[in-house]
Chains A and B, each alone.
Chain A
């Protein structure tokens, strides 16, 4: 028991204490975390939170300025911007999380493998990484989105997620590899090898947990990046398509035509994007400062 129990119990305890320390050490981080939670809440319970149906066209109240009935005004179709923002947070989060998680995880595995095996494997992976890095993001996105027959999950195109996730892979792979290299030379890895454990065991049991810090940091940072990317792609009309509620989309299309008369059309979505991305960046940042011993007092 004493073997199994601590294994399970200890991390949980540390998690809670960790959360406490984190809040104390990184007040900004804590704030950003609260913002993120709010977003998630809005995203998950949007059907209850949102005052209107985001798809409901109402030509009677086109481009209505912010008012009590429409907190953020309405857009060119008379749809309630506030509601669309709330529903949009779902889109943003789903894309942000899935893309960033997929990208970061694949990248991490590549990075660790690259560092652990070294030699040829390392060379090949590094070459691949170089190629992906040299490849202009925008083209990658444009083509991936255009190329493959689209496959929808909850109104969100998996291609879009792929398009956003792929560029993340090489970047994470680089960083994780660097971290993994320093872990690779740690005596406890030698000890594990001397004990004759399998590669899989050493990679996943001994190395992976020790590069989890850079992984987490990159993960949060790239959630932010992914949300931005989604916004940009939607702005180009490559991402989510009307009438789905998505922040980037709300800045594009006929917003371009109307934002001079109806600034609220671009103001609030812009703020929403910035705030969300800000929160994730700040959180990732604080996480870095918190996890990175160099930055600890």
Chain B
């Protein structure tokens, strides 16, 4: 708003907090913002989201692009005179090399985007500044994929030298060049003098300081040792900081592309019985819970499989009709009890697996235990470290669990992949196989008309919740705190976006 209106000032170094330290620098092989908040400033992507008009996409390395009417050919025109930090000029071959690495990584390289770009048939480079992608089939979220921040463009020669070079070596075309990474302490970058976007970036440099304790991070923020943290904080933390810093602090909020999911292992009795699953879902007072939890945790919005507030999200009016979203919790619980009785498990006992992270997993777990207590179900809450937790979920050694759906961008298809049949989809922890859901998903991907696509999504949602394999508990709520002096940074529903700092400037 007003901030953006002012004319940016050049210069200054931005200290901001990163609440996790990335194990490596390779965007392609990573799913954590820790890598992005670390690497994005050094790299460019073909397209990117326009955070002013989210979820629109805009050009980054590509000056412009065209999509053929049949939506099977995407052509990108690259800026010219773009140079990597080591001085080598960027050409379409670099882009091709990058996307080849993404869609079928060579031996020993990990790409978490393999599936995403599976629809690409071929990549052609007619000339150094033009690159053409040919698709096997229509993919309604292809542009989202091209705009995803995970597709950092690497130099072909680096990849040729060592396919895994990006893990440890940084050479990009981004607004900042790599200075140092002190393990356990910070990463530093300085202005890329010949960044292809004129006049950018504004900052002389930046310092991303790793702070794994929220408390410490907030102290630092309050003390001005860091000016911002771009992932998100809890409401309690926000309130404290507001109280402490008053109008020196800027608070930006948005719903978040993250949600916690209640998962039932359909291979374990009695959770093979839809009635039991449904009953348990119906006992959860989401609307009440969202009220309370939103005060003490990052959980907030009630929503279906697609992020509430995003174009394709199911409106509340429709949502309340689905099991587990009723606003008349008393009635819903009574029904739940009945269902359990029918299923012959009136006094049900089970263990709820949860991840051992204070925010927001623990509150969610505590909340669920309490909710189920109220229909006479005795739940034992088991929180364990990531490794045992992940392996338990992967191997199906659990009855009920709190899973999480980390959407790396705001694409609806991505949001639904979690619910596809277990075979061939390690993300589906419920181990359910449901042809109908798969069919609906396939259709919406190939659907060119947004209206129709939305219908399909709602149908899928209905089927999913009726069967109750798994269901979003609550969506997260993103709150970003920064000093008012930090300008030009743009809030968005995903903490993976807007991390390149190109437009950020300091108002001192």
Tell me if A69 is interfacial: C-beta within 8 Å of chain B. Answer: no
- The answer on a CB contact under 8 Å between B383 and A241 is yes
Q: Which residues of A contact B292 (CB under 8 A)?
A: 57, 59, 62, 77-78
- The answer on a CB contact under 8 Å between A254 and B383 is no
Q: Which of B234, B243, B295, B367 contacts A57 (CB 8 A)?
A: B367
Tell me if A9 is interfacial: C-beta within 8 Å of chain B. Answer: no
Task: Give the contacts of A237-251 with B (CB-CB under 8 A).
Answer: 237, 241-244
Chain A interface extent, by class:
20 to 34
**Distance of A59 Cα from B297 Cα, bound (Å):** 12
Q: Which of A56, A150, A244, A253 contacts B358 (CB 8 A)?
A: A253
Task: Give the contacts of B362-410 with A (CB-CB under 8 A).
Answer: 362-363, 365-367, 369-370, 373, 380-385, 387-388
Q: Which of B214, B291, B366, B367 contacts A257 (CB 8 A)?
A: B214
**Distance of A244 Cα from B292 Cα, bound (Å):** 20
- The answer on a CB contact under 8 Å between A146 and B236 is no
- The answer on a CB contact under 8 Å between B381 and A257 is no
Q: Which residue of chain B has the shortest Cβ distance to A59 in the bound complex?
A: B292
Q: Which residues of A contact B296 (CB under 8 A)?
A: 62, 76-77, 254, 257-258
A270 to chain B, nearest CB (A): 16
Tell me if B115 is interfacial: C-beta within 8 Å of chain A. Answer: no
A237 to chain B, nearest CB (A): 5
Q: Which residue of chain A has the shortest Cβ distance to B244 in the bound complex?
A: A260
Q: Which residues of B contact A77 (CB under 8 A)?
A: 292, 296, 363, 366
Tell me if A189 is interfacial: C-beta within 8 Å of chain B. Answer: no
Q: Which residues of B contact A146 (CB under 8 A)?
A: 384-385, 387-388
Tell me if A131 is interfacial: C-beta within 8 Å of chain B. Answer: no
**Distance of A146 Cα from B214 Cα, bound (Å):** 24
B350 to chain A, nearest CB (A): 13
A111 to chain B, nearest CB (A): 35
Q: Which residue of chain B has the shortest Cβ distance to A157 in the bound complex?
A: B382
Known: A152-B380, A256-B215, A257-B237. A243 touches B295 (CB 8 A): no
Q: Which residues of B contact A258 (CB under 8 A)?
A: 236, 296
Q: Which residues of B contact A78 (CB under 8 A)?
A: 292
B427 to chain A, nearest CB (A): 24
Q: Which residues of B contact A56 (CB under 8 A)?
A: 370
**Distance of A258 Cα from B297 Cα, bound (Å):** 11
**Distance of A56 Cα from B292 Cα, bound (Å):** 13
Known: A77-B296, A146-B385, A152-B380. A243 touches B370 (CB 8 A): yes
Task: Give the contacts of A51-83 with B (CB-CB under 8 A).
Answer: 55-57, 59, 62, 76-78
Q: Which residues of B contact A261 (CB under 8 A)?
A: 236, 239-240, 243
Tell me if B12 is interfacial: C-beta within 8 Å of chain A. Answer: no
Chain B interface extent, by class:
35 or more
* Dominant secondary structure at the B interface: helix
**Distance of A49 Cα from B291 Cα, bound (Å):** 31
Q: Which of A55, A254, A256 contacts B370 (CB 8 A)?
A: A55
- The answer on a CB contact under 8 Å between B388 and A257 is no
Tell me if B288 is interfacial: C-beta within 8 Å of chain A. Answer: yes
**Contact string, B200-239, partner A, CB cutoff 8 A, digits 1/0?**
0000000000000111000000000000000000101101
Tell me if B347 is interfacial: C-beta within 8 Å of chain A. Answer: no
Q: Which residues of A contact B237 (CB under 8 A)?
A: 257
A260 to chain B, nearest CB (A): 6
Q: Which of B297, B358, B373 contacts A256 (CB 8 A)?
A: B358
Q: Which of B215, B236, B243, B383 contacts A237 (CB 8 A)?
A: B383
- The answer on a CB contact under 8 Å between B388 and A254 is no
**Distance of A12 Cα from B214 Cα, bound (Å):** 57
Tell me if B356 is interfacial: C-beta within 8 Å of chain A. Answer: yes
**Distance of A77 Cα from B388 Cα, bound (Å):** 27
**Distance of A155 Cα from B381 Cα, bound (Å):** 10
- The answer on a CB contact under 8 Å between A55 and B363 is no
A127 to chain B, nearest CB (A): 32
The listed residue with most B CB atoms (<10 A of its CB), out of A62, A77, A261, is: A77
A108 to chain B, nearest CB (A): 33
**Distance of A281 Cα from B359 Cα, bound (Å):** 36
Q: Which of A62, A152, A155, A237 contacts B356 (CB 8 A)?
A: A237
Q: Which residue of chain A has the shortest Cβ distance to B219 in the bound complex?
A: A260
The listed residue with most A CB atoms (<10 A of its CB), out of B296, B367, B385, B387, is: B296
**Distance of A258 Cα from B238 Cα, bound (Å):** 11
Q: Which residues of A contact B367 (CB under 8 A)?
A: 57
- The answer on a CB contact under 8 Å between A241 and B381 is yes
A76 to chain B, nearest CB (A): 4
Known: A237-B356, A237-B358. A242 touches B366 (CB 8 A): yes
Q: Which residues of A contact B381 (CB under 8 A)?
A: 241-244
Known: A146-B384, A146-B385, A237-B383. A242 touches B362 (CB 8 A): yes
Q: Which residue of chain B has the shortest Cβ distance to A77 in the bound complex?
A: B366
Q: Which residues of B contact A76 (CB under 8 A)?
A: 236, 296, 363
Q: Which residues of B contact A155 (CB under 8 A)?
A: 380
**Distance of A152 Cα from B381 Cα, bound (Å):** 11
Q: Which residues of B contact A241 (CB under 8 A)?
A: 381-383
**Distance of A57 Cα from B383 Cα, bound (Å):** 19
Q: Which residue of chain A has the shortest Cβ distance to B296 in the bound complex?
A: A76
**Distance of A256 Cα from B214 Cα, bound (Å):** 9
- The answer on a CB contact under 8 Å between B288 and A59 is yes
A3 to chain B, nearest CB (A): 53
The listed residue with most A CB atoms (<10 A of its CB), out of B291, B366, B382, B385, is: B366
- The answer on a CB contact under 8 Å between B236 and A242 is no
**Distance of A257 Cα from B234 Cα, bound (Å):** 9
**Distance of A59 Cα from B288 Cα, bound (Å):** 9
**Distance of A59 Cα from B291 Cα, bound (Å):** 8
Q: Which residue of chain A has the shortest Cβ distance to B213 in the bound complex?
A: A256
- The answer on a CB contact under 8 Å between B382 and A243 is no
- The answer on a CB contact under 8 Å between A57 and B370 is yes
A275 to chain B, nearest CB (A): 25
**Distance of A260 Cα from B236 Cα, bound (Å):** 11
**Distance of A168 Cα from B448 Cα, bound (Å):** 68
- The answer on a CB contact under 8 Å between B215 and A254 is no
**Distance of A234 Cα from B362 Cα, bound (Å):** 13
Q: Which residues of A contact B388 (CB under 8 A)?
A: 146
Task: Give the contacts of B328-375 with A (CB-CB under 8 A).
Answer: 356, 358-359, 362-363, 365-367, 369-370, 373
Q: Which residue of chain B has the shortest Cβ distance to A255 in the bound complex?
A: B358
B388 to chain A, nearest CB (A): 6
**Distance of A237 Cα from B380 Cα, bound (Å):** 16
- The answer on a CB contact under 8 Å between A55 and B288 is no
- The answer on a CB contact under 8 Å between A257 and B236 is yes
Q: Which 3 A-B pairs have the closest CB atoms?
A: A59-B292, A76-B296, A57-B370
What are 8 inter-chain pairs, A to B, with CB distance below 8 A? A237-B356, A237-B383, A252-B358, A254-B296, A257-B215, A258-B296, A261-B239, A261-B240
Q: Which residues of A approach B to under 8 Å, CB–CB?
A: 55-57, 59, 62, 76-78, 146, 150, 152, 155, 237, 241-244, 252-254, 256-258, 260-261
- With A57-B367, A260-B240 known, 19 other A-B pairs at CB within 8 A are A55-B370, A55-B373, A56-B370, A59-B292, A77-B292, A146-B384, A146-B387, A150-B382, A242-B365, A242-B383, A252-B358, A254-B236, A254-B296, A254-B362, A256-B213, A256-B358, A257-B215, A257-B237, A257-B240
